[in-house]
Amino acid sequence: MEVKISDNIILIGTAHISQESVDEVRKAIETYTPDIVAVELCQRRHQSITKKDQWENTPITALIRSNNAFFMLAQTFLSAIQRRLGEEYGVQPGSEMIAAMQEAEKRNIPVALVDRDITVTLKRAWRAMGVREKFRVVWEFLKAMLGYEEEDLEDLDLKELMKQDVISQMMEEFSAIAPKAATVLIHERDSYIAQKILNESKKGKVVAVVGAGHLKGIQQHLEQPNLNVDITTLDTVPKKRVSLIKVVEVAIPVIFFAVIGWIIYTNGLSGWEKIKDVFLIWFLVHGILSAAGAAIARGHPLSVLTAFVAAPFTSLEPFFAPGWFAGLVEARLRKPVIKDFQQLSKLESMRDFLRNKIIRLLMVVALANLGSIIGTIVALPWIFSLGIG
């Protein structure tokens, strides 16, 4: 769908999986001979499309170290939906964006990436949601990632679905359970993209290729007189709010060391035997249960050992968890890549499920953390009774 905003701005609304959109994009660039081709991509998504093999074989540890976990989750979610639609229509996801960039390169036209960094978008959406909304969205994500809604997708009118880009369609379905996230993922992006396109149009004629789901919103913004969206604010992730979980995490070491202090206060030097017992109980209970969790997940022996060593210490501070350390060791020794993540929606049996490196890694992290949590539940009242006994 083509919309001419002015002599300097032409919008092309596309379905992200459509041969018609690919043809329309090529024709528009040929017809209008723009000075700039703008595409609804950020730098991260641009690289995942243009360097697909490199992206798919990127170690998960590299994304964790570079703080790209949000991007990894988003890309996986979108890929799960797009892959099913792409198989139906025989067009690879993102083909129209690739076509736009290929045409621009062929004609020596600069390409402008006008979407907001997807990591910033998802972090802003996550911060905007309440606890209940977050649980609902995570559940929907897991179902889509593992393919549990395949029958529902078969019932959809795919031609109608393809009139919108995948993120917009996703958030329309989620709007009833996550309205705050919808505001960030759709409306904020509309204003952000519109301002970026307007900025590019000051350099020359722009043909902007955007998802059809954003076309109307972007058009409305661009048709406003004196559009002036604060890009800097929209590129900022709001600070975290203090949660009940964080309060509990801080309270645990306070209680632990308060028990130690009480033993010293009431028993003096004779209390050292009790203090040694407190530390021994804390270390063994946390270490054994966290290691057991990693072992149940079929983690590498060194991952299990890491969970045993890390759990007693991480349980006494609110910033780290034993599963993170065990997971990093597991990822280092049995390196999963993005391709393993993308295979999740194709798993057909429990054996496939358990052999997937991502599933094993996530289970090591989750069960090691769960073991440590159970360790706190067991050890805290035990050492408390020991301290006042």
pLDDT tens digits for range 272-292: 888 899 999 999 999 999 999
Average pLDDT over residues 4-25: 84
Predicted local confidence at residue 155, as pLDDT: 46
What is the structure's pLDDT at 362? 77
pLDDT digits (tens, 9 = 90+) for 90-128: 556 678 888 999 999 999 999 999 999 887 888 888 788
Instruction: Check pLDDT > 50 for residue 162.
Output: no
Q: Where is pLDDT greater, at 353 or 213?
A: 213
pLDDT at 133: 79
User: Residue 84: pLDDT above 60?
Assistant: no
Q: Distance between CA 260 and CA 383 in Å, rounded?
A: 9
* pLDDT per position as a tens digit, 178-213: 778 778 888 899 999 999 999 999 999 999 999 887
Query: Would you state the pLDDT for residue 341?
Result: 63
Q: In angstroms, what CA-CA distances link 313 with 188, 310, 330, 331, 370?
A: 42, 6, 19, 21, 15
Residues 6+ away with beta carbon under 8 Å from 291: 304, 305, 307, 308, 311, 368, 371
Q: What's the pTM value of the predicted model, to 2 decimals?
A: 0.63
pLDDT of residue 11: 93
Q: How far apart are CA 313 and CA 298, in angstroms?
A: 23
pLDDT computed for residue 148 by the predictor? 47
Report yes or no: 214 and 168 within 8 Å, Cβ to Cβ. Answer: yes
pLDDT(76) > 90: no
The residue among 64 and 271 whose pLDDT is bigger is 271
Cβ pair 186, 173 in contact under 8 A: no
Q: Percent of the chain, pLDDT > 70?
A: 71
Q: What is the pLDDT of residues 234-270, one digit of tens each?
A: 988 877 666 666 777 788 888 888 888 888 888 877 7
pLDDT at 153 over 60: no
